[in-house]
Amino acid sequence: MDLVVACSILGAAIAVGLATLGAAIGQGISVSRATEIIGKNPNAKKEVMSGLLLGLLMIVSLMLFALAIAIILLWMNPFV
């Protein structure tokens, strides 16, 4: 029983940690590319910003899915 709880906590920590790391890297890359494109072509700011915001929302939603999985592992574990 204690091993299942320990593995659930470890799995939740790894899921949230990797999701946060991946989201931060993805957001950094996308924002840097967007600012680079806007710097080269200021007239395309509206199109670039709308695509950037949509992409950033998708990245954050994946991170929230990982958080939901971590919550399920911690509080709604069927093995405990």
Question: Sign of dihedral through CA atoms 26, 28, 33, 38?
Answer: positive
Q: Look at residue 31 in the predicted model and tell me its pLDDT.
A: 94
HSE (CB half, 13 Å, CA atoms) of 62? Answer: 15
CB-based contact 9:72 (threshold 8 Å): no
Lookup: tokens for 13: 């920590």
CB-based contact 23:63 (threshold 8 Å): yes
Per-position pLDDT tens, the chain of length 80 = 788 888 888 988 998 999 999 999 999 999 999 999 999 999 999 999 999 999 999 999 998 998 888 888 888 876 66
pTM as predicted: 0.79
